């Protein structure tokens, strides 16, 4: 009797454990595709005024395609992708990306602090460089 109920408890635990494992595996990473274009603008398909919205602390796969504008860095970087807090323009750790021509994926984690942020280009890519930014919102 004792053995049997112990076995039953074991089976229930195993089933619950499997359920948890399955749901975390099924949880999808937020994929965001951005074009850092040759006219010194960030673009997102389907958005006239591109904006990124993510959940606090959420895992993100950033897939960025960069196209060369007029000028670039000596190291071959043609655009940057740096995340700043909108309130004081301070940099967010780990979000200072430099882009080479072509498409690259970056595994990122959204900031833990909800609020408004801005993505800016850190490479002087043309006379339009100062206009190369993107609104980035972190929701709770």
Q: Which of 132, 134, 136, 138 binds Cu ion (CB under 5 A)?
A: 132
The angle at the Cα of 54, spanning 138 to 76, to the nearest 5 degrees, equals 100
CB of residue 71 to Cu ion, shortest distance in Å: 9
Q: Which of 92, 99, 119, 125 binds Cu ion (CB under 5 A)?
A: 125
Q: How far apart are CA 77 and CA 66, in angstroms?
A: 9
Instruction: Tell me which residues in 8-27 interact with Cu ion (CB under 5 A).
Output: none
Q: How far apart are CA 93 and CA 83, in angstroms?
A: 8
Q: Which of 108, 121, 134, 138 binds Cu ion (CB under 5 A)?
A: 121
User: Count of residues binding Cu ion (CB under 5 A)?
Assistant: 5
Instruction: Tell me which residues in 45-104 interact with Cu ion (CB under 5 A).
Output: 79
Q: Which is nearer to Cu ion, 39 or 113 (CB)?
A: 39
Q: CA nearest 138: which of 107, 115, 109?
A: 115
Neighbours of 122 (CB within 10 A): 18
Q: How far apart are CA 63 and CA 31, in angstroms?
A: 7
41 binds Cu ion (CB under 5 A): no
Q: Which is nearer to Cu ion, 67 or 85 (CB)?
A: 67
Region of 128 (left: φ > 0; alpha: ψ -120 to 50; beta: rest) is alpha
Kindly indicate which of the ranges 19-27, 46-54, 82-90, 113-121 contains the residues binding Cu ion, using the contact rule CB under 5 A: 113-121
Binding-site ranges for Cu ion (CB under 5 A): 40, 79, 121, 125, 132
């Amino acid at each position: 009797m004792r053995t049997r109920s112990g076995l039953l408890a074991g089976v229930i635990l195993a089933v619950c454990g499997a359920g948890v494992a399955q749901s975390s595996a099924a949880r999808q990473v937020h994929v965001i595709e951005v074009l850092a274009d040759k006219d010194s603008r960030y673009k997102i398909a389907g958005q006239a005024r591109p904006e990124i919205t993510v959940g606090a602390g959420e895992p993100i796969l950033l897939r960025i395609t960069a196209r060369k504008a007029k000028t670039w860095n000596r190291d071959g970087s043609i655009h940057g992708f740096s995340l700043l807090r909108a309130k004081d323009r301070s940099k967010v750790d780990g979000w200072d990306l430099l882009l080479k021509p072509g498409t690259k994926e970056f595994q990122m984690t959204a900031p833990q602090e909800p609020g408004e942020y801005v993505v800016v280009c850190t490479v002087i890519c043309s006379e339009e460089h100062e206009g190369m930014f993107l609104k980035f919102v972190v929701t709770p």
